């Protein structure tokens, strides 16, 4: 299974990024091969449409599950319709996020958790 984690950095020890559409990187971890791949998020600085663009990116990368902090309305709709379940992880490292997910300790996100353009706010 390929797990996508939104991340501020590029490895297992990086902090996760609470934003989905405007996260810095997607880290895709393949549980079968143990291989970690980093996809810089080209939507991070987008004026609009970041949620749909990021969804396209994780779908193209073959992710079957997404772990992130928050979802905007477009991303929530897109991920739900293409049947990629999204799990909520507060804060910590990519490793902690994956471990918690595997232990069944992450809660499923059912819809948007923030309004449109939330991820453009700083700080």
Which listed residue (7, 14, 41, 53) binds other proteins by CB under 8 A?
Answer: 53
Which listed residue (59, 61, 88, 95) binds other proteins by CB under 8 A?
Answer: 59
77 scored as a contact of other proteins (CB under 8 A): yes
Q: Which residue has the tokens 């810095």?
A: 24
- For the CB of residue 99, give the shortest distance to other proteins in the complex, in Å: 28
Which listed residue (44, 50, 67, 97) binds other proteins by CB under 8 A?
Answer: 50
Order the strands of the 107-108 sheet from edge to edge. Answer: 36-40, 25-30, 2-7, 65-68, 86-88, 107-108
The beta strand positions in the chain, using DSSP E, are 2-7, 25-30, 36-40, 65-68, 86-88, 107-108
Interface ranges with other proteins (CB under 8 A): 43, 46, 48-50, 52-53, 55-56, 59-60, 74, 77-78, 81-82
């Amino acid at each position: 299974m390929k797990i996508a984690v939104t991340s501020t950095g590029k490895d297992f020890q990086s902090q996760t990024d609470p934003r989905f559409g405007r996260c810095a990187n997607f880290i895709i971890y393949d549980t079968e091969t143990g291989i970690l791949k980093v996809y810089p998020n080209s939507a991070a600085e987008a004026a609009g449409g970041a949620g749909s663009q990021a969804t396209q990116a994780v779908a193209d990368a073959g992710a079957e599950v997404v772990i992130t902090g928050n979802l905007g309305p477009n991303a929530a709709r897109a991920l739900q319709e293409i049947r990629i379940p999204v799990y909520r992880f507060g804060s910590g490292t990519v490793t902690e996020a994956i471990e918690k997910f595997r232990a069944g300790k992450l809660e499923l996100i059912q819809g948007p958790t923030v309004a449109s353009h939330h991820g453009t706010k700083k700080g």
